[in-house]
Structures are given as C-alpha cells and as structure tokens.
Amino acid sequence: MAEAFRNKATPGKVPTLKSGISHDRPITDGTKLQVLGDLCVGCSYCLMACKDDALIVEGLCEVIDSNCTNCLRCLLWCPTGALVYA
C-alpha cells in the first residue's frame, strides 16, 4: 500500500536523499523512533519518504519498529516535528 500511495500522492515524488551517515543516527542504546501524537497531523509526508514500509498513517502515524532502518528520511520530511527518537 505504501508504494501505491507514494506513486499517487499529491506532493509528488520525494527526491532521493543522502542519509544514513553514522553520526546522524542515534548512538544511545534503547532509543527508537516514536511519534508525538500531539504534533502528528496525519499528512503522510513521512510515509511518502519511507522506502522501508516502516510507517503506517491511519489518522496518525505509527512506526513499525521491525521495518525501520533508521535512515532518517521521515524525520527530514515531517513538517511538524512529530517524529522523534526517545
């Protein structure tokens, strides 16, 4: 579903981003990507940016931890700052 959404989404194609530099990733044990429900507006920009199908947006964004590769694309594209490492 995410691939179909990415291909038809209003904002258009998400450009290829250079990401994954080791110093950009969290280095503290136990940190993981989380959604701040108060800030998430369900815009789906994160879903369009994620190439790993690690997010679901049904009203609010939800992270699928087992698919997340910490590429940071979703953090770059979230317009409200709702995605954080905590």
Residue 41 CB neighbour total at 10 angstroms: 13
DSSP secondary structure, 25-81, as one string: S--STT--EEE-TTT-----HHHHH-SS--EEEESEEEE-TTT-----HHHHH-SS-
Instruction: Confirm whether 39 is domain-assigned.
Output: yes
21 versus 73: the higher-pLDDT residue is: 73
Q: Which of 43, 75, 80, 78 is nearest to 60 (CA)?
A: 43
User: At 42, which CATH number?
Assistant: 3.30.70.20
Instruction: Confirm whether 71 is domain-assigned.
Output: yes
Per-residue confidence band for 61, with pLDDT thresholds at 50, 70 and 90: very high
Average pLDDT over residues 51-73: 91
Range of the domain at 41: 2-10+30-85
List pLDDT tens digits, range 8-38: 555 555 455 455 544 455 555 557 888 999 9
Q: What integer pLDDT is reported at residue 4 of this predicted model?
A: 63
Q: What integer pLDDT is reported at residue 32 of this predicted model?
A: 82
Its pTM stands at 0.64
Total domains in the chain come to 1
Q: What integer pLDDT is reported at residue 66 of this predicted model?
A: 93
